[in-house]
Amino acid sequence: MLALKNSSKSAFRRRLLGWYDANRRNLPWRQTRDPYKIWVSEIMLQQTRVAAVIEYYKRFLKAFPNINALARADEETVLAHWSGLGYYRRARMLRAAAQQLEAAKREMPRTAGELLELPGIGRYTAAAIASIAFREPAAVVDGNVERVLVRMAGENEADSVDFWTTAQELIDTDRPGDFNQAMMELGATVCLPKNPACGACPLKQWCGTRGEHKTAKPAARKTSTVGYVVAGHGPKIALTQRPKTARLMPGMWELPLLHRLPRHAPLFTLRHSVTTTDYVVKVWRGRPPKGSVQSNVAQASKLPLTGLTRKILRRLSLLRD
């Protein structure tokens, strides 16, 4: 078990927060204590790189500046603003929670326990919002925090660490939001999965490994080849809508999928990754297939397009967002 004396805990907190104050990244959601804006950022950041979230976050808040605006928007419009960010269930649950709050005429709950009652908010997200927006001393544990705690414990003790209990024992009760963000920031920028920058780590005196420690084997990746057709007349382009009952990306719009790949060379090939699958994506020009819908390109950009479709249309210079 990872255990520190009270004096050591105080020194740990001072060192970590001092490092964070001097080195934290200037991210837009760190400029606010608005619980709605923090909530949006935390949902977007789930399983998504910070760099990919920043512009989506700004555009989303411009379209839906508060809970009421989000609650009153139709699902397709919300998904259109989320399009390309992936894991679309997050957007649906975010809107559902906003609708629940508006229907009950409630403001954002102020405690982690109450936040857990909202759709799409789990233990991590509830603690993050409560600590950052409302200063509740509720610790968070994500992959970055877990890696920091594992390395502090050392290889021989890592399996016995209760990460949530340990994080809660370490949290700074005066600055809980900053403490949580500092732990995550440390894991994201210094205590990296591979080649950690140990020399720059403010917590190295408490570290039990002083270097890389693999906590789990990465999931095996699969490869797959798919083909799409770009078809249309003039300013229009053919699109198809995924079934509402589809397991992945239900209701999203995409280019027509080719079930048999042509023998002639494609217009171009690109790569696209979704969770544990790496796709080789081949694109041909062709005729609009049966069942597709012709949409004006400008109008199509406002639809909830899949991220891959947006990538293809950008490659064709048909989209510039």
pLDDT value of position 214: 55
pLDDT band at 1 (very low <50, low <70, confident <90, very high): very low
Average pLDDT over residues 292-297: 86
Q: Which fold has domain 222-315?
A: Nucleoside Triphosphate Pyrophosphohydrolase (3.90.79)
Q: Look at residue 130 and tell me whether its pLDDT is greater than 50.
A: yes
CB burial class (10 A; 0-12, 13-18, 19+) of residue 273?
exposed
Provide the 10 A C-beta neighbour count for residue 93.
Answer: 15
Q: Look at residue 3 and tell me whether its pLDDT is greater than 70.
A: no
Q: What is the CATH number of domain 6-206?
A: 1.10.340.30
Span 61-118, pLDDT tens digits? 999 999 999 999 999 999 999 998 888 999 999 999 999 999 999 999 999 999 999 9
Residues with catalytic roles: 42
Backbone angles phi, psi at 302, to 5 degrees: -95, -5
* Cα three-residue angle 63-66-71, rounded to 5 degrees: 85
219: helix, strand or coil: coil
Provide the 10 A C-beta neighbour count for residue 34.
Answer: 15
**Lowest-confidence segment of 126-130, 227-231, 232-236 by average pLDDT:** 232-236
Domain with CATH 3.90.79.10 in the chain: 222-315
Whether the Cβ atoms of residue 154 and residue 209 lie closer than 8 Å to each other? yes
Span 55-75, pLDDT tens digits? 999 999 999 999 999 999 999
Whether the Cβ atoms of residue 29 and residue 133 lie closer than 8 Å to each other? no
45: helix, strand or coil: helix
Average pLDDT over residues 277-287: 91
